[in-house]
Structure 1
Amino acid sequence: MSIETLTDYLLQYGSIVIFILLFFGIVGIPSPEESLIFLIGVLIAQHQLHPIPTAIAAITGALTGMLTAYAGGRFLGYPLLHKVEKFIGLTKERWKKAEQSFKRRRKRTVVFGFYMPGIRQISPYFAGLTTMPFYQFFGLAVFGTVLWVMPFLVAGYVLGRSFHVNPSYAPLVGVFFLVVMIGWFLLKKKTSKKVENG
């Protein structure tokens, strides 16, 4: 879908399409939703979208996606894993190791995983699979959703008010952010290896 087509849909259907896109962005294929949220902020600044309904639609769309993925992991995860584990090479030992790793970091993974495409899609499923208490997951998911949506929304709004931002440049925000996150991850990994090697 081109940015022009996406913008037309946003302007025509508003909050409905925002909710749907962010919902499926969480439960579906990983994509740079940061670009979408930034674009929404720009359109708010240009008085083409209403700020409050738009922000609510973005937050509730992402949060509903998180809750749906959690439910999927909680109630469908293990039966599905048992059916596909031999095809994906998932042994009991590998699963136990992955489960223990997630449990050690699950709080920060749910909250800050939003900032990493792929992790934000996997973390709610893992939370459900590892039977993370729902009240705990819900609180962290709400906090993480707001902490993720609002900065990109505000950035789009502020830049849209300060400069003439062409909506076609919005995808570059997601690409730039993804490159930054990959660079940060690689740097952290390199630093950890140096510490381990003394």
Structure 2
Amino acid sequence: MSIDTIEHYINSYGYIIIFFLLFFGIVGIPAPEESLLFLIGILIINEKLSFGYAVISALLGVFLGMLTAYGCGKFVGYPFIQKYGKYIGISTERWNKAKAKYTKNVKRTIVLGFYLPGIRQISPYFAGIAEIQFKTFFLYSLVGSLCWTIPFIVVGYYAGEYFEINPKYVPYLGLALLVIFLFSLSINYLKEKYR
């Protein structure tokens, strides 16, 4: 989906499209979440969106997406893994190891997972499957939603204030973040390998 298309949808449908794009991005349907948040900041500084409504729409989309994915994981995920896990290499032993590791770092994984594409989408499902307490998940996904959504919008806002940014170039931000993410993963992998 191009930035022109997203901008057209935002102009046509307003804040509801921000909600749906972020909601579906969290539940796993591909959407340019970081780029969208950055674009929202640019559109706010150009007075095409209201700061308050845009932030509320974005937060609700992200947070309700997390809760929905958690619910799917809790009520559908484990029976699915029991039935089909053997076909994709998830044995009971592997599942128990992964669950123990996730449970040990659950708070950090939920909050910091927002900054890692892929982890952001998998984490709420895994929390539901691993039967993490709902109140724990609720609190940390709310904190993570706030800590991830607002800074990207604010960066877009201030970048748009100080620089003339053409919205067509915003997707390159998402690409740059993906490259940084893959680069950091590669470095961590090589460090572990050479230890």
TM-score by length of structure 1 reads 0.93
CA shift in 2, pair 1:186/1:31, >3 Å: farther
5 Å-filtered alignment, 1:41-80, equals 41-80=41-80
In the alignment, what sits opposite 2:191? 191
How far 1:112 moved relative to its partner? Answer: 0.5
CA RMSD of aligned residues (A): 1.3
In the alignment, what sits opposite 1:92? 92
Matching residue's letter, 1:58:
A
In the alignment, what sits opposite 1:165? 165
Partner Cα distance (2:7, 2:38) in 1: 12
The reply on whether 1:34 has 2:34 as its aligned counterpart is yes
Partner Cα distance (1:126, 1:54) in 2: 29
In the alignment, what sits opposite 2:4? 4
Partner Cα distance (2:2, 2:172) in 1: 13
Unaligned ranges ≥5, structure 1:
none
The reply on whether 1:124 has 2:124 as its aligned counterpart is yes
1:162-195 Cα offsets, whole Å, 9 max, x none, are: 121100111011111111122222223333444x
How far 1:30 moved relative to its partner? Answer: 4.7
TM-score by length of structure 2 reads 0.95
Partners of 1:30 and 1:117 within 8 A in 2: no
Partners of 2:24 and 2:30 within 8 A in 1: no
How far 1:49 moved relative to its partner? Answer: 0.8
SS in 1 for 2:68: helix
**Which 4+ runs in 1 deviate beyond 6 A?**
none
How far 1:54 moved relative to its partner? Answer: 0.4
Partners of 1:30 and 1:121 within 8 A in 2: no
In the alignment, what sits opposite 1:155? 155
In the alignment, what sits opposite 1:110? 110
1:25-73 Cα offsets, whole Å, 9 max, x none, are: 0002355410111011111111011110000000110000000011111
- How many residues matched? 195
Partner Cα distance (1:118, 1:30) in 2: 10
